[in-house]
Structure 1
């Protein structure tokens, strides 16, 4: 996979690990209150589970609260940490892909930077990957899963978005219980030769649609409310989600099949 880093500030290049098992990306925007605690928790957890076999990659979209600067200051204490400051690009999904391309791990992962995804679930996801899964997804909709204090409106919107996805892209959305999850691991080999081009926040849908995904594992988790910082859920995200579904429907449907059968010269 090629990567143009001309518009990005990456620090430091020499910190890249040559033989990591897991590259865990943390996309951030205005997470100055949470990033230090999250890195500490993740490092302690993974040092015990897979010592010297992982890397943490913070990809920050030039946060006004200087999240990237706080993360950089932690690098001397956490040698497995990398920090990327993107100054000319925005978006959670593209940030995740950027981090995966920079990483070296055979297993690629993503976790939110706001502590709403319980870090301890990472160990269960790793076990599922070691057992042969192509992708392991933290799900709110299987045993031991749920949400903590969502309003009725938010529950309705979340469920409505999933039902809409099922109607537009059933062969993709219907494969998993929580296609909206932003907390998962996937084998690099499953997506390495794929042209991922996500729109908005729902990177998992892009991976399921375009990746070579066979065996799927799901692990229950309870989605937590924010302890600090502000929610980034906006109506634009719902619009981007619909556009993403329609674009995938277009590319995976009849026209997409014709393109594969008769590629451009």
Structure 2
């Protein structure tokens, strides 16, 4: 458990073309953090290849407040990679990833810190109301969480996003997972640690528009399912077995009909129906195998998760020991 001396909190904020949202975000977040006793802070914005004035705004903000830092990536690598870059740059005893659009209520930060100081390693926000989302988005989200938890041995809490507090041991353990196709919700859940949820009502965006369209959300869901479950691969063994049983049964039926009632010439329509059905099953199975094979291909290249173009105001990482040694050090302190 962290001591009650002055502690350091890192807030990680991935941004993409959010020049108008940064000022409003800081106006809300900084006073809340400053009101928490015995707490220093840093706010790390990760510019994920913005094409507007986001990086210039962050330079200006850093000149006025050195606690606001920036990691600027060389191009758009995606939110999951940008979030990873921010987590790796964080130097705090605890870290909170959150969105710049204020849909993650800054008012919960004080509650997160309180529960962390009580001994929890992970404090996550759980949306109790998604009235700000469209019916299609909230419905598809519910379907995804249900499907993921059915197909994977790993369970993730429904309506839980990236908004959470992680202690330094939990963060170090998270950063040890180096896969390139990153599904952070699954990674956070896989790591474990003593966790507690804080329910909240998700408000509408304060400014700007979401960068996630339905196509990106669909691909994001595919990444999640294929990263933490092999059931989509395994299910085709059972599909093949069922089709084989029906095929053998149908073959025996034809043989018996021929022996006892004479030869029966099948119709063209039924033949085409069977051929098309089996062809569709084969193509779908090949497509799912291709999804997994493509991910293996990407992982085998061992490319970096992201490339940094510029860093502004970051504190050097402590000569910290390995993640395992960090976990042992916290464990000894708790005893």
- What range describes the TM-score normalised by the shorter chain of this pair? 0.7 to 0.9
Q: Is the 8 A contact 2:13 2:43 kept in 1?
A: yes
1:51 Cα offset (Å): 5.8
The aligned residue for residue 35 of structure 1 is 22
1:192 Cα offset (Å): 1.4
1:129 Cα offset (Å): 1.1
The aligned residue for residue 121 of structure 1 is 108
- Match for residue 130 of structure 2 among 143, 147, 161: 147
Partner Cα separation in structure 1 for residue 207 and residue 168 of structure 2: 33
Equivalent residues, number: 223
Decide whether aligned partners of structure 1 residues 148 and 208 sit closer, same or farther in structure 2, where only a CA change above 3 A counts. same
Decide whether aligned partners of structure 1 residues 171 and 147 sit closer, same or farther in structure 2, where only a CA change above 3 A counts. same
Give CA deviations for 1:91-142 in whole Å, capped at 9, x if unaligned. 11111111121111121210101111111111111112111112110101xx
Partner Cα separation in structure 2 for residue 34 and residue 240 of structure 1: 24
Partner Cα separation in structure 1 for residue 178 and residue 195 of structure 2: 19
Unaligned runs of 5+ in 1: 1-18, 251-265
1:169 aligns with 2:152: yes
**Larger helix percent:** 2
Unaligned runs of 5+ in 2: 1-5, 231-335
Partner Cα separation in structure 2 for residue 230 and residue 168 of structure 1: 32
- Match for residue 111 of structure 1 among 70, 77, 98: 98
CA RMSD in angstroms, aligned pairs only: 2.2
Partner Cα separation in structure 2 for residue 157 and residue 198 of structure 1: 25
1:224 aligns with 2:203: yes
Partner Cα separation in structure 1 for residue 210 and residue 152 of structure 2: 28
1:137-216 equivalent positions in 2, closer than 5 A: 137-140=124-127, 145-173=128-156, 176-179=157-160, 181-193=161-173, 194-197=176-179, 199=181, 202-209=183-190, 211=191, 213-216=192-195
Question: What secondary structure sits across from 1:30 in the alignment?
Answer: coil
1:31 Cα offset (Å): 1.0
1:148 Cα offset (Å): 3.4
Partner Cα separation in structure 2 for residue 154 and residue 89 of structure 1: 24
Structure 2 length normalisation: TM-score?
Answer: 0.62
Q: Which has more radius of gyration?
A: 2
- Match for residue 69 of structure 2 among 82, 94, 108: 82
